[in-house]
Structure 1
Amino acid sequence: MSNENLLSRITVDPAICHGKPCVRGLRYPVETILEYLAGGDSVDDLLAEFPDLEREDILACHEFSRKMLAAKSVHLTLA
């Protein structure tokens, strides 16, 4: 699946999750999927926990975050 096809799985609707980017109009914000992955859950864990998600949905979350990071500067404060 191409990157553009993956990105078509990410939707933004003010009526769903306060307009946060979500997977296919479902109530799964991209942010939440990424938090699960960052917390150590595997793709297979997520697919088992949320059966209406597809593997491509999780890849779409990765691609969306990659695009967002490439488009914006991120300023970090070093301790």
Structure 2
Amino acid sequence: MNTRVDRITIEPEICHGKPIIRGMRWPVKVVLDMLGSRMTPHQIIDDHPELEIDDIYACIHFTRLSVSGETMSLTDK
């Protein structure tokens, strides 16, 4: 399972600079909302095939780093 945050990007011109998945218009928050509604990662992928399982886990890892206060760079690999 890839949990690297390199799949998460922040681009001011996309989604108002919110964290997104791989430069697509998929905010991390939307994926977290789907997980919070009890969708499984595989259900999310089935409904949205442009996403990959590693994207889902990267969102979770990014959020964990964010709330833990750990420093990170979206360019770190």
Q: What TM-score does the superposition give when structure 1 sets the normalisation length?
A: 0.83
Tell whether 2:15 aligns with 1:17: yes
Give how far 1:12 is off: 0.2
Distance change >3 Å, CA 40–CA 2, structure 1 → 2: closer
SS at match of 2:51: coil
The amino acid across from 1:23 in the alignment is I
State the match for 1:58 in structure 2: 56
Q: How does 1:1-79 map to 2 (within 5 A)?
A: 3=3, 6-71=4-69
Q: What are structure 2's unaligned runs of at least 5 residues?
A: 71-77
User: Structure 2: how far apart are the matches of 1:46 and 1:14?
Assistant: 26
Q: Which runs of 4+ in 1 moved over 6 A?
A: none
Give the unaligned 5+ runs of structure 1: 73-79
C-alpha root-mean-square deviation of aligned residues, in Å? Answer: 1.4
Higher relative contact order (CA 8 A, sep 6+): 2
- The 8 Å contact of residues 31 and 56 in structure 2, kept in 1 or not, is answered as yes
Aligned partners of 2:63, 2:20: CA distance in 1, in Å?
A: 12
